[in-house]
Amino acid sequence: MNLLYLHTHDMGRFNAIYGYAIPTPNMLRAAQACAVFRNAHCACPTCSPSRAAMLTGQLPHNNGMMGLAHRGFALRRPEQHLAQFLGRNGMETALCGIQHEAADVTALGYGQVLAQGAHSDAERAQEAVRFLSARTADSAPFFLSVGFSESHRAYAKHSDINPDFVQVPPCLPDTAETRADMADYMTSVREVDRCMGLVLDALRDSGLWEDTILLLTTDHGIAFPHMKCNLYDTGTGVTLCIKPAGNWCTPRALDALVSQLDVFPTLCDLLHLEKPDWLQGTSLLPLLLGEKEEVRGELVTEVTYHAAYEPLRALRTQRYTYIRRFDEEFCRPVLPNIDASPSKDLVVAAGFGERNLPAEELYDRILDPAERNNLAGRAEAEPIRRRMAERLRVAMAATDDPLCAAPHGRVPAPKGARSNLRSDLEPNETVFE
């Protein structure tokens, strides 16, 4: 039994799988053979912490990856990474393309690292195709991680996608600038889709489709204001599709609340491996089998560092989202944590960075699915706010969240780690704390 893990940067749910008019036919075709999780969330809506959380099965503050790997953050125990775990359990492990869990890929323990000199997703896809085409009936079971990057900024410029007929995310103003920006995103994710199609076709052509678990996902929301690095659904909501080997799971959409922390224990069940004791998620196998409609009542998401320090925590249930900011000293948007873009330029020019942000936010996603009507501070919502705040406090204490010890202080970065000043505008500014 094999495992193919297809992933890309900064895609959220903005593709055809989730009904958007975005040209991703290969992803859609793959999803039509999968269980599609419509209410799946990353543990942290920033690149390295999200990926590290899913691939260790631990929250970022537990696995150590509370910031970006290329800025000096690292896993405390790399041996807990999925690649090393599967390698110890007899699988041939290979990385093809990008990863974002270590500054030095050798720390992750993959048996093979392919396409190290590749400069495009097309080159990465061709290396993955070669790997799959070389498999024989006598080959060892494999775990192949294929990582794409062209859905990350800076996007390719649109040519044949007319921005006049593009829908922008509902959290952004509908302007010529945002439509053109979204058309560039669509152009870039279309190339990712084309490359994923090459890999999926190679899997089918090799005769390995039936014997291979397919995991298709992304790290967090798309790189626009109000999305990536935010704890709203637009930031934490992710594409998540799983096809077990043997194709015994009925392809369908599942509305259960799930976390990417649940992926590692699910893969253990699908591969018939004993779960390691460090996992913090819950297996999704009962959902895949149709035995249950829910496997968890709540999940926690977090941000500590991205380009700059921004301590946020959230508790999400099937109906409510509760978000708390733990830095009363800086109660404005942390602009370097928003990727540079025409959309960012537009909202910053309109005063986005000068707004005061509340310490607490509470949203009823049934009555307010866009999470724009903050109920925190309203008398009628106070019982719900207290209950959600207490549940978040308990969840943080249970996982030794460092913010519990310094709720108004600062979680220190590791020695040598770099972060922007929160007063910076862009993440590429050269002043670091």
pLDDT digits (tens, 9 = 90+) for 39-63: 999 999 999 999 999 999 999 999 9
What the block records as the tokens of 250 is 């009925």
Residue 136 is predicted with a pLDDT of: 85
Q: Confidence band (pLDDT; 50, 70, 90) for 402?
A: very high
Amino acid at 170: P
Residues in the chain, how many?
433
Q: Does 407 have pLDDT greater than 80? A: no
Mean pLDDT, residues 162-182: 97
Mean pLDDT, residues 358-365: 97
Mean pLDDT, residues 382-388: 98
Residue 330 is predicted with a pLDDT of: 80
Cα–Cα distance, 12 to 40 (Å, whole number): 10
Cα–Cα distance, 333 to 358 (Å, whole number): 11
Q: Confidence band (pLDDT; 50, 70, 90) for 385?
A: very high
Q: What angle do CA 358, 362, 367 make, to 5 degrees?
A: 135
Cα–Cα distance, 269 to 166 (Å, whole number): 41
DSSP sequence for 80-95: GSHHHHHHHTT-EEEE
Cα–Cα distance, 312 to 305 (Å, whole number): 9
Q: Which of 367, 363, 308 is nearest to 332 (CA)?
A: 308
Distances in whole angstroms, Cα of residue 148 to Cα of each of 99, 155, 205, 211, 400: 9, 13, 21, 23, 33
What the block records as the tokens of 346 is 């537009």
Q: Could you tell me if 313 and 140 are in contact, meaning their C-beta atoms sit under 8 angstroms apart?
A: no
Distance of CA 89 to the CA centre of its chain: 26
Q: Confidence band (pLDDT; 50, 70, 90) for 205?
A: very high
Q: Confidence band (pLDDT; 50, 70, 90) for 364?
A: very high
Q: What sign does the CA torsion over 413, 418, 423, 428 have? A: negative
Cα–Cα distance, 241 to 324 (Å, whole number): 30
Residue 247 is predicted with a pLDDT of: 80
Q: Confidence band (pLDDT; 50, 70, 90) for 387?
A: very high
Q: Under 8 Å CB-to-CB from 35, ≥6 apart: which residues? A: 241, 242, 243, 249, 250, 251, 252, 254, 284, 287, 288
Residue 328 is predicted with a pLDDT of: 76
210-225 pLDDT, tens digit each: 999 999 999 999 999 9
The rounded percent of the chain whose pLDDT value lies above 70 is 99
| β-bridge mates for residue 305, sequence order | 309
Peptide bond into 379 cis (omega under 30): no
For the full predicted model, state whether its pTM sits above 0.85.
yes
Q: Could you tell me if 259 and 237 are in contact, meaning their C-beta atoms sit under 8 angstroms apart?
A: no
Query: Reduced to 3 states, what is the DSSP secondary structure of residue 101?
Result: coil
252-254 vs 35-37, strand pairing mode: parallel
Q: Confidence band (pLDDT; 50, 70, 90) for 431?
A: low
Mean model confidence pLDDT for the chain: 96
Residue 433 is predicted with a pLDDT of: 59
The rounded percent of the chain whose pLDDT value lies above 90 is 94
